[in-house]
């Protein structure tokens, strides 16, 4: 949102802002290691750590370190091996990287001299290999999700920057949204009874791969959307099923898109499918309308929950007063997760820093049903990106639990729930990516078909 | 190749064979952990370690251990969390897994009692997280690619089994080959000038994803095949370019396919493209013909190299006697890698065990150019699966090296090489998967179009 960021090098601007927050306190940021699939040399495509990407944008620099010595930033990269050209092609020279970044570039072994005897903050990488390297350089134990006091101060400084996206970041989020839109349209077009879930997933991911991008997270493409992180794709598509697809592209610079849609395999929503879908859509709209600077995200979550409560009462699934049903946690049996999360270089942005990023200082997770999975509880501010993703799920373990009646005071109509399950409406979630603007918000993923009419049209196209 | 393996449970049969080799020596096999993309909870799809898959076939059991106590096998699995059903769907119960495997099943914490005070062999997992868990249970340092004497004995016992595939394994290799065939055909069909490499890769991987399978390794789909592990896909397809695609599917049980083809973007081979392609194809055929029990794989590699030498002389790229050119290492400038490797649950099978699997006892890598990257040097035996993949590459760093003339005695015609590069024939490799049979061999990937006529026909289909 700060227009100066697009003038010149956004990474240099971010480094200078972070330096201003750190003052004379030194910091070491690791780019991370390639992850093995099954043996060391067979790796997943390398993706630099989000903090390193944020500050340098050097997506291909594995096993590299950025060091801020309390005054300036320098890069420490693995020495170039002559065999690189044979196996992986020529890599940019240290001189070329020094030129493009404006930073001094050294070989990793020279870190020793730079760090010698200093108390240096770092952010533990998610993989132990990199943590071990960090620990070796810093002479202390570095572990994922464990932070020294200095590390926490560094984390807070980075969070204060990454929470509110600059123009370069927003441009990347738009690229991710555009590829995510194409993927969902391809999935809708590819859906036909008799295929398997995997065919729809393939059509969606192929759109992303064809753009030379990758998915931002493991795709969920399932007829059993009631399993929240369902990564199975083997089931055949029955003509009365609905597909839930939670698929997002990662932009060229590593920024995430994160969209969920649900659509009928038959190409037309049945009455029951449409009824449930419209309840979720109304709740999502209610939540989206509320997104603006100064609003507490927890309240957006509660708005969505109350709107779902009202809709479930209208459908005869719940009996009683919507506000009471929500306050009593009955709605949480159908909407157990949070209404969304921060979005940025990580699909759950900065989740490597725990709730430090998602929760404002002094706020902590509420263990109540329906609240404990809420990943974001900050007052919204311009430049924040987040998702809004209410859902309704008929979860067998909950609906078949003999204690359900006692727990809900008999306010759940199990037979009505079973009818929706039979209609293929087992789990519906609708998710968009939003940018908080000075005046309210912008839906970054507004192009992805969402109304019943738009989804049906996209399936026919 | 042993027919008894398909009667009943092949995994039980493998466990019993391994137990017979281990006798009373206990062993611990880890299934491994899910690998983080960028933060801990955002993981790549989980794939159990190959050794664990080989013995139990429980592809989805992460953070699990199999323990052989010197008499029987038992499983130690993470305790089921009630929230699993919500987030990941119901998982098979311990009782169900005990029933399907015929092994006792316990919670991981019970490992402590089982292991107490015993000297237990293990195979270090490729990720440090799992190695740490192994080390904690065993009370010693466990690190990737480091083996105690007991570990080495366990490795040798497993190698002796996994080297020669049973019928269940061969059936899986056939499934991998079939999906790999479909992927290559899709890539040939999808190729058109003006698209990008990424579009061809997307078409190929979509065939694999649609079958609910995954790739066995990072796909190479490039117009710059001279970069051996080129994982970039951003380049546009020029009408005089050739694509090199090294793409393989992993079967449902985790077994690898590994096929390389090269084809002209224009749909028809130009004269220069065809000339070079036919040289590689002739060398591949020569090597394939030699594959039979008792043959030393190093000799197959040398046959391919000599055939390439003769072909390069015929094309005027090299001057002199083919046998001398090969013996002097001149051919290694164009064919620097080995002619193939073991194939199985890993695309370079058992490479986590170093050269212990690929090299027969007493044999070690030859550091000479053209030999040092040879990953396999065993006498072939029925049931072994391997690749045959000669190639010719015009590598700028080699061709532009001022020392080339001195090093090769002026026997390389740089201008002729430059002409092939200009014709888009920068790197051509042809790779198939073979099974060694009692009588010779079977090409598992024989269906993938390979002759000039077959490739051109597949591109038009």
Chain A: give the shortest CA distance to residue B166, in Å: 21
Short-list A135, A64, A169, A189, CA closest to A444: A169
Domain that includes residue B353, residue range: 167-460
Residues in chain A: 461
> Nearest CB to A38: which of B47, B230, B233?
B47
Taken in order A280, A286, A291, A294, is the CA torsion positive or negative?
negative
Q: Which of B31, B38, B351 to mutate to test the interface with A (most CBs of A within 10 A)?
A: B38
Helix or strand or coil: residue A441? strand
Q: Are strands B249-250 and A242-247 parallel, antiparallel or unpaired?
A: unpaired
Q: Are residues A155 and A85 in the same domain?
A: yes
Contacts of A218 in chain B (CB under 8 A): 42-45
Lowest mean pLDDT among A211-225, A275-289, B77-91: B77-91
- Cβ within 8 Å, pair A144-B90: no
Residue at a domain's end among B162, B180, B205: B162
Strand partners, B379: B296
Q: Are residues A190 and A154 in the same domain?
A: no
How confident is the model at residue A223, as a pLDDT?
97
- Cβ within 8 Å, pair A45-B85: no
- Cβ within 8 Å, pair A128-B126: no
How confident is the model at residue A5, as a pLDDT?
42
Distance between alpha carbon B126 and the CA centroid of its chain, in Å?
16
Chain A: give the shortest CA distance to residue B228, in Å: 5
Q: Are residues B364 and B450 in the same domain?
A: yes
> Nearest CB to A210: which of B38, B199, B398?
B199
Q: Are strands A27-30 and A121-122 parallel, antiparallel or unpaired?
A: parallel
Q: Give the mean pLDDT of A42-56.
A: 95
Residue at a domain's end among B134, B162, B190: B162
Q: Are residues A251 and A361 in the same domain?
A: yes
CATH code of residue B88: 3.40.350.10
CB B161 within 8 A of CB B64: no
How confident is the model at residue A148, as a pLDDT?
95
Q: Are residues A376 and A454 in the same domain?
A: yes
Six-digit token pair at B304?
């391919």
Q: What are phi and psi of A318, to 5 degrees?
A: -120, 150
How confident is the model at residue A2, as a pLDDT?
40
Chain A: give the shortest CA distance to residue B460, in Å: 21
Residue A6 has pLDDT above 70, yes or no: no
Q: What is the dihedral of CA B448, B453, B458, B461, to 10 degrees?
A: -150
Domains: count for chain A: 2
Instruction: Determine which helix (DSSP H) or strand (DSSP E) holds B13, and give its type and residue range.
Output: helix B10-22
Six-digit token pair at B319?
């001057």
Chain B: give the shortest CA distance to residue A408, in Å: 18
Give the integer Cα–Cα distance in Å for A116 and A119: 9
Chain B: give the shortest CA distance to residue A306, in Å: 21
- Cβ within 8 Å, pair A209-B229: no
Residue at a domain's end among B162, B185, B210: B162
Q: Where does the pLDDT of residue B4 fall: very low under 50, low under 70, confident under 90, or very high at 90 and above? A: very low
Q: Where does the pLDDT of residue A4 fall: very low under 50, low under 70, confident under 90, or very high at 90 and above? A: very low
CB B425 within 8 A of CB B272: yes
- Cβ within 8 Å, pair B50-A36: no
- Cβ within 8 Å, pair A351-B41: yes
Residues above pLDDT 70, as percent of chain B: 98
Q: Give the mean pLDDT of A218-236.
A: 93
CB B52 within 8 A of CB B29: yes
Contacts of A145 in chain B (CB under 8 A): 40
Q: Which of B186, B206, B393 to mutate to test the interface with A (most CBs of A within 10 A)?
A: B206
Q: Where does the pLDDT of residue A3 fall: very low under 50, low under 70, confident under 90, or very high at 90 and above? A: very low
CB B11 within 8 A of CB B55: yes
CATH code of residue B288: 3.90.230.10
Short-list B321, B347, B318, B385, CA closest to B169: B385
- Cβ within 8 Å, pair A126-B396: no
How confident is the model at residue B230, as a pLDDT?
87
Residue B70 has pLDDT above 70, yes or no: yes
How confident is the model at residue A1, as a pLDDT?
36
Chain B: give the shortest CA distance to residue A67, in Å: 20
Rama region for A440: left / alpha / beta (φ>0; ψ in -120 to 50; rest): left
Residue A392 has pLDDT above 80, yes or no: yes
For the segment A321-332, what is each residue's pLDDT rounded down to a tens digit?
Answer: 999 999 999 999
Rama region for B246: left / alpha / beta (φ>0; ψ in -120 to 50; rest): beta
Residue B9 has pLDDT above 60, yes or no: yes
For the segment A61-78, what is each residue's pLDDT rounded down to a tens digit?
Answer: 999 999 999 999 999 999
Nearest CA in chain A to B130: A128
Contacts of B47 in chain A (CB under 8 A): 37-38
- Cβ within 8 Å, pair B129-A128: yes
> Nearest CB to A88: which of B203, B227, B234?
B227
Neighbours of A99 (CB within 10 A): 12
- Cβ within 8 Å, pair B88-A217: no
Q: Give the mean pLDDT of A31-58.
A: 94
- Cβ within 8 Å, pair B127-A234: no
Beta-carbon pairs below 8 A across chains A and B: 186
- Cβ within 8 Å, pair B202-A201: no
**CA-based diameter of chain A, in Å?**
73
Enter the DSSP assignment of B432: E
How confident is the model at residue B87, as a pLDDT?
80
CB A249 within 8 A of CB A179: yes
Q: Are residues A62 and A135 in the same domain?
A: yes
First-residue to last-residue Cα distance in chain A = 36
Short-list B71, B73, B79, CA closest to B28: B73
- Cβ within 8 Å, pair A351-B205: no
Contacts of A93 in chain B (CB under 8 A): none
Six-digit token pair at B135?
């080390």
Q: Are residues B90 and B199 in the same domain?
A: no
Residue A33 has pLDDT above 90, yes or no: yes
- Cβ within 8 Å, pair B397-A86: yes
Contacts of A37 in chain B (CB under 8 A): 35, 44, 47, 217
Integer CA distances (angstroms), A380 to A18, A171, A361, in order: 21, 20, 14
For the segment B233-260, what is each residue's pLDDT rounded down to a tens digit?
Answer: 999 999 999 999 999 999 999 999 999 9
Instruction: Determine which helix (DSSP H) or strand (DSSP E) holds A105, and give its type and residue range.
Output: strand A104-107
Residues 6+ apart with CB under 8 A from B365: B355, B359, B371, B372, B374
Q: Where does the pLDDT of residue B3 fall: very low under 50, low under 70, confident under 90, or very high at 90 and above? A: very low
For the segment B93-119, what is each residue's pLDDT rounded down to a tens digit?
Answer: 999 999 999 999 999 999 999 998 789
- Cβ within 8 Å, pair A212-B230: no
For the segment B254-279, what is each residue's pLDDT rounded down to a tens digit?
Answer: 999 999 999 999 999 999 999 999 99
Half-sphere exposure of residue B127: CA atoms within 13 angstroms, side-chain side? 28
> Nearest CB to A206: which of B44, B203, B398?
B203
- Cβ within 8 Å, pair A351-B39: yes
- Cβ within 8 Å, pair B36-A395: no
CB A73 within 8 A of CB A26: no
Contacts of A229 in chain B (CB under 8 A): 87-88
Q: Give the mean pLDDT of A15-27.
A: 98
Mean pLDDT of chain B: 95
Six-digit token pair at B38?
């960028």
Residues 6+ apart with CB under 8 A from B319: B313, B410, B411, B412, B413
Chain A: give the shortest CA distance to residue B203, in Å: 7
Residue A7 has pLDDT above 60, yes or no: no
Residue B391 has pLDDT above 70, yes or no: yes
> Nearest CB to B128: which of A128, A209, A210?
A128
Short-list A145, A100, A142, A97, CA closest to A122: A142
Q: Give the mean pLDDT of B323-330.
A: 94
Q: Where does the pLDDT of residue A202 fall: very low under 50, low under 70, confident under 90, or very high at 90 and above? A: very high
First-residue to last-residue Cα distance in chain B = 36
For the segment A323-373, what is each residue's pLDDT rounded down to a tens digit?
Answer: 999 999 999 999 999 999 999 999 999 999 999 999 999 999 999 999 999
For the segment B136-157, what is each residue's pLDDT rounded down to a tens digit?
Answer: 999 999 998 899 999 999 999 9
- Cβ within 8 Å, pair A397-B145: no
Q: Are residues A142 and A189 in the same domain?
A: no
Q: What are phi and psi of B89, to 5 degrees?
A: 85, 160
Contacts of A197 in chain B (CB under 8 A): 212
> Nearest CB to A38: which of B36, B49, B89?
B49
How confident is the model at residue A83, as a pLDDT?
73
Residue A8 has pLDDT above 80, yes or no: no
Q: Are residues A224 and A153 in the same domain?
A: no
Residue B5 has pLDDT above 60, yes or no: no
How confident is the model at residue B6, as a pLDDT?
38
Distance between alpha carbon A392 and the CA centroid of its chain, in Å?
20
Chain A: give the shortest CA distance to residue B237, in Å: 13
> Nearest CB to A228: which of B86, B205, B209?
B86
Contacts of A256 in chain B (CB under 8 A): none
Q: Output the pTM of the full model.
A: 0.96
Q: Give the mean pLDDT of B16-21.
A: 98
Q: Which of B83, B131, B197, B210 to mutate to test the interface with A (most CBs of A within 10 A)?
A: B210
Chain B: give the shortest CA distance to residue A251, in Å: 14
How confident is the model at residue B2, as a pLDDT?
40
Short-list A450, A83, A82, CA closest to A260: A450
- Cβ within 8 Å, pair A348-B397: no
- Cβ within 8 Å, pair A38-B346: yes
Q: Where does the pLDDT of residue A81 fall: very low under 50, low under 70, confident under 90, or very high at 90 and above? A: confident
- Cβ within 8 Å, pair B397-A217: no
> Nearest CB to A231: which of B45, B209, B218?
B45
Q: Where does the pLDDT of residue A262 fall: very low under 50, low under 70, confident under 90, or very high at 90 and above? A: very high
CB A161 within 8 A of CB A17: yes
Q: Are residues B336 and B429 in the same domain?
A: yes
Strand ordering across the sheet containing B242-247: B220-222, B242-247, B259-264
Q: Are residues A354 and A298 in the same domain?
A: yes
Q: Are residues A22 and A110 in the same domain?
A: yes
Give the integer Cα–Cα distance in Å for B246 and B332: 21
Contacts of A35 in chain B (CB under 8 A): 35-37, 44, 127
- Cβ within 8 Å, pair B210-A198: yes
How confident is the model at residue B340, as a pLDDT?
98
């Amino acid at each position: 949102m700060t227009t100066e960021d697009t003038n010149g090098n956004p990474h240099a601007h971010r480094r200078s802002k972070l330096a201003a927050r750190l003052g004379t306190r030194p910091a070491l940021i690791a780019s991370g290691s390639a992850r093995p699939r099954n043996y060391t040399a067979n790796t997943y495509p390398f993706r630099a750590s989000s903090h390193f990407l944020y500050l340098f944008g050097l997506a291909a620099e594995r096993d590299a370190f950025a060091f801020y010595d309390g005054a300036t930033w320098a890069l420490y990269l693995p020495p170039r091996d002559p065999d690189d050209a044979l196996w992986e092609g020529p890599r940019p020279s240290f001189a070329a990287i020094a030129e493009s970044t404006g930073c001094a570039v050294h070989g990793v072994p020279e870190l020793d001299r730079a760090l010698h005897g200093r108390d240096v903050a770092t952010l533990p990488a998610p993989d132990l290999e990199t943590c071990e390297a960090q620990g070796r350089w810093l002479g202390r134990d570095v572990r994922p999700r464990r932070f020294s006091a200095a590390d926490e101060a560094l984390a807070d400084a980075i969070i204060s920057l990454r929470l509110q996206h600059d123009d370069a970041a927003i441009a990347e989020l738009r690229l991710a949204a555009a590829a995510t839109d194409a993927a969902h349209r391809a999935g809708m077009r590819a859906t036909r009874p008799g295929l398997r879930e995997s065919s729809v997933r393939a059509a969606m991911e192929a759109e992303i791969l064809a753009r030379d991008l990758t998915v931002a997270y493991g795709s969920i493409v399932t007829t059993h959307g009631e399993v929240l992180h369902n990564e199975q794709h083997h089931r055949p598509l029955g003509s009365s099923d609905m597909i839930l697809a939670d698929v997002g592209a990662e932009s060229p610079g590593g920024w995430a898109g994160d969209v969920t849609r649900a659509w009928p395999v038959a190409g037309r929503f049945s009455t029951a499918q449409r009824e449930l879908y419209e309840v979720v859509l109304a709740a999502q709209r209610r939540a989206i309308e509320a997104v603006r600077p100064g609003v507490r995200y927890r309240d957006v979550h509660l708005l969505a929950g109350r709107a779902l409560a009202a809709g479930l009462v209208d459908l005869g699934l719940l009996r009683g007063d919507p506000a009471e049903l929500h306050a009593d946690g009955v709605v949480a049996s159908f909407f157990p997760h949070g209404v969304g999360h921060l979005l940025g270089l990580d699909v759950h942005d900065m989740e490597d820093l725990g709730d430090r990023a998602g929760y404002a200082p002094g706020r902590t997770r509420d263990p109540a049903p329906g609240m404990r999975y809420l990943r974001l509880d900050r007052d919204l501010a311009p430049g924040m990106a987040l998702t809004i993703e209410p859902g309704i799920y008929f979860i067998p373990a909950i609906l078949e639990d003999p204690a359900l009646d006692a727990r809900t005071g008999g306010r759940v109509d199990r037979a009505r729930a079973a009818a929706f399950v039979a209609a293929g409406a087992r789990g519906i979630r609708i998710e968009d990516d939003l940018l908080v603007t000075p005046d309210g918000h912008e839906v970054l993923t507004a192009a992805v078909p969402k109304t019943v009419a738009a989804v049906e049209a996209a399936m026919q196209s």
